[in-house]
Structure 1
Amino acid sequence: MAATEAGRDMALREATLRKLRKFERLRGQIVKVGEFWDVVVITAADEKQELAYKQQLSRKLQQKELPLGVHYHVFADPAGAKIGNGGSTLCALQCLEEIYGDRWNCFTILLIHSGGYSQRLPNASALGKIFTALPLGSPVYQMLELKLAMYIDFPSHMSPGILVTCADDIELYSVRETDILRFDKPGFTALAHPSDLLIGTTHGVFVLEPSGSSECGDLEYRTCHRFLHKPSLEEMCQSGAVGRKRTLSPKNLAVGDLGTPNSHSDFVYTDSLFYMDHNSARKLLAFYQQLGALTCEIDAYGDFLQALGPGATMEYTKNTANVTREESGLVKMREKIFHLLQGTPLNVVALNNSKFYHIGTTREYLYHFTSDSPLKSELGLLSTAVSVFPGGSEGSCEAPCVIQSIIDSRASVGLGSVVEYSWLGPDVTVGANSIISGCHVLTKAALPPSSFLCALSLRVNGRIMYATMAYGVEDNLKQSVKALSDIHSLRFSGLGFLECLDLWGLKGTEDLFSGSQTSLSLWTARIFPVCPSLSESVMASLRLLGAVRNASPLCLTSHELLSVEEMLFYKDVEAMMRWRAHIVQEIHLQGCQADVSEEFSFLCTP
């Protein structure tokens, strides 16, 4: 008999709770050899981001928010061409070699890719995706703590090697007490999650060798014949990637704990993180050292994993359909990687009771933090975390989510909105489905629905200044055009960008944009006022946004204006962390509000 979905969900929640408890016991403690990672590496896009990450890591270690006795590193990509997370992996191996020599052959290493500027979730742009706050724990968990907690069982059952993961996804899984998830086979080992076929078209998909067993437990060790990267439905079916699982009838599920399988649904196994043993890592390092500088983007999943397994062919090397920017040397680089890794085994750990979540976009962020999402239940996410929010409605569907913030009892926060690291006064109204981050608003203000507002501290010519990015939550900051004549195709908060410029009294000239004049976008548009105080900055950008929503003119020509690209260049990480610490101090003075279920109460220290 098969367990019900409710039973599997309960097992997933209990397994997650156990990992969180285990991690809590290690926070601030010196870990024993083999108990935790020997080395934790975070990659950064450039030296500026590297410094920001190091500052935050240092603060976490000082405040004993992480396990101690571990080597934590941040490695920046070299200046020049974008090299992708595959290139970042190669550079990280070189950095480990320079620091440790042959000693890293004996280490268990966690490598977290966090080198992007999070244009799809801009409130993570300044301080990094891996430092995205979660409505969980006290001190508030960020993605780094959650990843360390969810992988807490891995190091003790791992041969020396490197586990590669990304900063904006969450993997939850449960296995039987007698099962152990091991990373101890030669070559590569990847986790695999059962997903519907549509999900498979946007992820990596494993084509597995026949298992030889009719039983399907929560954990299966399988061999991968070949790996497909973002395949079409037709490719998945033709390659043999599609499996069929038995499902339970709704009638039986509603009756009791056990149901009877009576139907089938198609699924594929999709990817998340992967491990490589030290021999494979050494092979990649030697390859990188022979290459010298990288000149094109390499994908750690698409370009490494597609070369593995007995069914791998060179056909994928010429497929550039999923490449954001095709460089001339990409195909040749892929061919070299294929020949290097050809014949290397790809082992798969199929986690049949697992979930894979991505929170790298504003839509995903709002959904998982404010709706009645499975993740909220499985992780014990709160509606009010380390905050003063007398008007909160913990547990209600689409309740606003408030993280490390102070909100006056007379303020209003709309359903489906997230407020983080902010202080809002009595006459502030936040519209539904909005994101507000790092803001200080004590005067009367109204943020329209579906708005995005994120304030940054800057250091400009030696002075502390402030600027606040403001958009619609659905705005596409990654969309760019190559000529000024095409900027009419950009849209800001639902309105054509040229119309917005007219409302603001600005002209669409080359001087309006920072950076490359062949890549014009909302990201590089100089439209945000620089102000001497945080509250002035927030109000100035709020007026800018309101002008668009209300179609009312607002002259910006008297302000010094920056683009988001420039704001990130001038960002003052220490000042932003001081602001967050100030909020925490005030929260403790006023009394922290958080309705925590008893089973998750260990996450909230007094």
Structure 2
Amino acid sequence: MNQDSSRKLQTATREKLRKLNSLRGGFSQRLPSASALGKIFMAFPLGEPIYQMLELKLAMYVDFPSQMKPGVLVTCADDIELYSISEDESVQFDKPGFTALAHPSPLHVGTTHGVFVLDPHEKSSSSDVETISCLRFLHKPSLNKMRDSGAVCKGQSGLFSVSGEEFVYTDSTYYFDFDTAKSLLNLLKELGPLDCEIDAYGDFLQALGSKATIDYTNNTANVTKEESSLVEIRQKIFHLLKGTPLNVILLNNSKFYHIGTTSEYLFHLTEDVALRAELGLLNSAFSLRETSETPGCCVMCSVLDPSCSVGAGSVVEFSRLGEEASVGSGSIVSGCWVGPGLSVPDGAFMHSLCVNHQDKIRFVTVFFGINDNLKHSVDAPASMDELKLCSVGLSQCLSHWEIKNEALRFSGDASSCNLWNACLFPVCSDQQSSFSVSLKMLQAVLSGSTNPLPKDTKLMSVQECLQSKNLEEMLKLRKVLYTDITQRRFSS
């Protein structure tokens, strides 16, 4: 290949990566390690080499296309739906308007997902699959809202057979037909480029059903950033879709697993006996050094020295752990190079990203407590102590690093200060030193000690890291891991 052809190939590859990354949804503030490449490319501990969420979704929906008229299928990249139906039944997407899958779920699950209000006169079958019309769709409703709207069912599904046991039908994947797709495209042309966030579930599905009302268009509680045009555009969508049928396919013998938060991710990959058995999840998948002697942990596409240890309930992915290195329990280590002898604390989240900084390739390792709320915001830096990093107020964290409060910078919108846009994380020249520097900062906060940063250390926020990420270099690092694992396995 000549030099000119090589440059063209590199340019084409970058463009493909850019377009591929633009297909994913919003940033994952509840599972930040999935933000750089997108949740659809999250790894799972099975397969050789390991599967991604994309492969799981394709496998789960392999029978759908043959039962589907032309249209659009919408799904989330952070959930898994497993279902069982008899041989004479099928899941069909052949009705006009919208058709959504529905799963029986406990009431508490309904408060964080979409809930269907069904027509009580239609549901009569006890089969695994039943298609009925929906009166209304509720987006993350309260318990009282579910009860008042008639969404709560009792002991009728395959999973809730105990008499009187309450449940709701929650959402996952949905389909809309070609005519509806054309109508939405025409509306987009009329509106022009959007400057606000439109939710594919809340803003579309809440407009459907005979009992749908326009009230939801003014509710911005679940919006990441509210723009002035949001309510007006929502109302136009409502009026366009009002009267469009919403059919619901009740998958009565099904399970819905959501893995979009750090706690859910850790539970389902390390502790959930049911999911591990149903999918055949492994403790160690496509990695060097088996970890079967440490039950309840999960290692994916990583190289671990035989002397290192990974605690129960922890996930390590796309990382290297050196001699005598250790990871505590209930932690996530993603894309990191953990040097010899270093110890990741219990309940820690650590994720290394490759970024472009001042025209150079650099590394930033972000760190949080597993249960930290990265979405919680305050109006001004003066209130930063309301933001908790590992349960410690942010101003106190700064004191451990000998950074003055007034020196802390928040990226993006100055009226919204949170852990996501707080510039706390050092920019380093290589992956290994990046992890080491950030680990010392985290340990200082947890131990109450002092760890001053070197003078003129540049600090970035998670938000800035993602805006300046070098996706090509991050994929190269994964490729190196893949090659290393493959060659060393072959040689042994």
**Which residue of 2 is the match for residue 580 of structure 1?**
478
1:402 aligns with 2:299: yes
Instruction: Verify the 8 A CA contact 1:510 1:517 in the aligned structure 2.
Output: no
What is the rounded CA distance, in whole Å, between the counterparts of 1:222 and 1:246 in structure 2? Answer: 15
Say which SS state the counterpart of residue 519 (structure 1) adopts: coil
What is the rounded CA distance, in whole Å, between the counterparts of 2:302 and 2:264 in structure 1? Answer: 21
Say which SS state the counterpart of residue 329 (structure 2) adopts: coil
Q: What value does the CA root-mean-square deviation take over the aligned residues?
A: 2.6
Say which SS state the counterpart of residue 480 (structure 2) adopts: helix
**Which residue of 2 is the match for residue 242 of structure 1?**
152
Q: Equivalences for 1:216-231 in 2 at 5 Å? A: 216-231=126-141
**Which residue of 1 is the match for residue 311 of structure 2?**
414
**Which residue of 2 is the match for residue 345 of structure 1?**
245
What is the rounded CA distance, in whole Å, between the counterparts of 2:122 and 2:427 in structure 1? Answer: 65
Instruction: Verify the 8 A CA contact 2:129 2:250 in the aligned structure 1.
Output: yes
Aligned-pair CA distance for 1:362: 0.7
Aligned-pair CA distance for 1:573: 1.6
**Which residue of 2 is the match for residue 370 of structure 1?**
270
**Which residue of 1 is the match for residue 8 of structure 2?**
none
1:3-41 Cα distance to aligned partner (Å, 9 max, x none): xxxxxxxxxxxxxxxxxxxxxxxxxxxxxxxxxxxxxxx
**Which residue of 1 is the match for residue 55 of structure 2?**
145
What is the rounded CA distance, in whole Å, between the counterparts of 2:468 and 2:141 in structure 1? Answer: 41
**Which residue of 2 is the match for residue 119 of structure 1?**
29
1:591 aligns with 2:489: yes
Cα 1:530/1:231, change in 2 over 3 Å: closer
Instruction: Verify the 8 A CA contact 1:506 1:557 in the aligned structure 2.
Output: no
1:55 aligns with 2:17: yes
1:293 aligns with 2:255: no
Greater Cα offset, 212-221 or 312-321: 312-321
1:323-347 Cα distance to aligned partner (Å, 9 max, x none): 4555444443333222211221111
Say which SS state the counterpart of residue 241 (structure 1) adopts: coil
Instruction: Verify the 8 A CA contact 1:247 1:263 in the aligned structure 2.
Output: no
1:384-430 Cα distance to aligned partner (Å, 9 max, x none): 10011244337x3xx21000011122111111111001111121011
1:344-380 Cα distance to aligned partner (Å, 9 max, x none): 1111111001111111111111101111342222211
Aligned-pair CA distance for 1:313: 3.0
1:381 aligns with 2:281: yes
Instruction: Verify the 8 A CA contact 1:391 1:409 in the aligned structure 2.
Output: no
**Which residue of 2 is the match for residue 6 of structure 1?**
none
What is the rounded CA distance, in whole Å, between the counterparts of 1:454 and 1:529 in structure 2? Answer: 13
* Matched residue type, 1:359: I
Cα 1:52/1:482, change in 2 over 3 Å: farther
Instruction: Verify the 8 A CA contact 1:436 1:453 in the aligned structure 2.
Output: yes
**Which residue of 2 is the match for residue 311 of structure 1?**
211
TM-score if structure 1 supplies the norm length? 0.74
**Which residue of 2 is the match for residue 276 of structure 1?**
176
**Which residue of 2 is the match for residue 263 of structure 1?**
163
Cα 1:283/1:386, change in 2 over 3 Å: same
What is the rounded CA distance, in whole Å, between the counterparts of 2:399 and 2:358 in structure 1? Answer: 30
What is the rounded CA distance, in whole Å, between the counterparts of 1:148 and 1:248 in structure 2? Answer: 25
**Which residue of 2 is the match for residue 36 of structure 1?**
none
Please point out which of 459, 465, 478 is paired with 1:561: 459
Q: Equivalences for 1:7-86 in 2 at 5 Å? A: 54-55=16-17, 74=20, 76=22
What is the rounded CA distance, in whole Å, between the counterparts of 1:466 and 1:249 in structure 2? Answer: 47
What is the rounded CA distance, in whole Å, between the counterparts of 1:542 and 1:239 in structure 2? Answer: 49
1:199-228 Cα distance to aligned partner (Å, 9 max, x none): 222222222224656431110011112222
* Matched residue type, 2:46: L
Please point out which of 484, 487, 490 is paired with 2:384: 487
What is the rounded CA distance, in whole Å, between the counterparts of 1:167 and 1:530 in structure 2? Answer: 30
Aligned-pair CA distance for 1:246: 5.1
What is the rounded CA distance, in whole Å, between the counterparts of 1:249 and 1:213 in structure 2? Answer: 16
Cα 1:495/1:55, change in 2 over 3 Å: same
* Matched residue type, 1:580: R
1:136 aligns with 2:46: yes
* Matched residue type, 1:267: F
Cα 1:429/1:52, change in 2 over 3 Å: farther
**Which residue of 1 is the match for residue 9 of structure 2?**
none
**Which residue of 2 is the match for residue 199 of structure 1?**
109
Say which SS state the counterpart of residue 215 (structure 1) adopts: coil
* Matched residue type, 2:105: S
Aligned-pair CA distance for 1:278: 0.7
Say which SS state the counterpart of residue 300 (structure 1) adopts: coil
**Which residue of 1 is the match for residue 5 of structure 2?**
none
Say which SS state the counterpart of residue 189 (structure 1) adopts: strand
What is the rounded CA distance, in whole Å, between the counterparts of 2:158 and 2:256 in structure 1? Answer: 22
**Which residue of 2 is the match for residue 604 of structure 1?**
none
Cα 1:145/1:294, change in 2 over 3 Å: same
Cα 1:501/1:340, change in 2 over 3 Å: same
Q: Equivalences for 1:391-540 in 2 at 5 Å? A: 391-393=291-293, 396=295, 399-509=296-406, 512-540=409-437
Instruction: Verify the 8 A CA contact 2:136 2:209 in the aligned structure 1.
Output: yes
**Equivalent pairs, count:** 478
What are the ranges of 5 or more consecutive residues in structure 2 without an aligned counterpart? 1-12
What are the ranges of 5 or more consecutive residues in structure 1 without an aligned counterpart? 1-50, 57-72, 77-112, 251-260, 593-606
Say which SS state the counterpart of residue 193 (structure 1) adopts: strand
What is the rounded CA distance, in whole Å, between the counterparts of 1:265 and 1:479 in structure 2? Answer: 35
Aligned-pair CA distance for 1:569: 2.8
What is the rounded CA distance, in whole Å, between the counterparts of 2:123 and 2:191 in structure 1? Answer: 44
What is the rounded CA distance, in whole Å, between the counterparts of 1:119 and 1:169 in structure 2? Answer: 16
**Which residue of 2 is the match for residue 33 of structure 1?**
none
* Matched residue type, 1:586: D
What is the rounded CA distance, in whole Å, between the counterparts of 2:392 and 2:76 in structure 1? Answer: 34
Greater Cα offset, 304-313 or 407-416: 304-313
Cα 1:384/1:180, change in 2 over 3 Å: same
**Which residue of 1 is the match for residue 125 of structure 2?**
215
1:259-307 Cα distance to aligned partner (Å, 9 max, x none): xx66331222111111000101111111121122334433222222222
TM-score if structure 2 supplies the norm length? 0.90
What is the rounded CA distance, in whole Å, between the counterparts of 2:339 and 2:446 in structure 1? Answer: 22
Cα 1:544/1:136, change in 2 over 3 Å: same
* Matched residue type, 2:300: I
What is the rounded CA distance, in whole Å, between the counterparts of 1:52 and 1:236 in structure 2? Answer: 47
Aligned-pair CA distance for 1:311: 2.5
Aligned-pair CA distance for 1:510: 5.7
Cα 1:167/1:390, change in 2 over 3 Å: closer
Greater Cα offset, 278-287 or 314-323: 314-323
Cα 1:442/1:349, change in 2 over 3 Å: same
What is the rounded CA distance, in whole Å, between the counterparts of 1:74 and 1:589 in structure 2? Answer: 29
Instruction: Verify the 8 A CA contact 2:339 2:436 in the aligned structure 1.
Output: no
* Matched residue type, 2:261: T
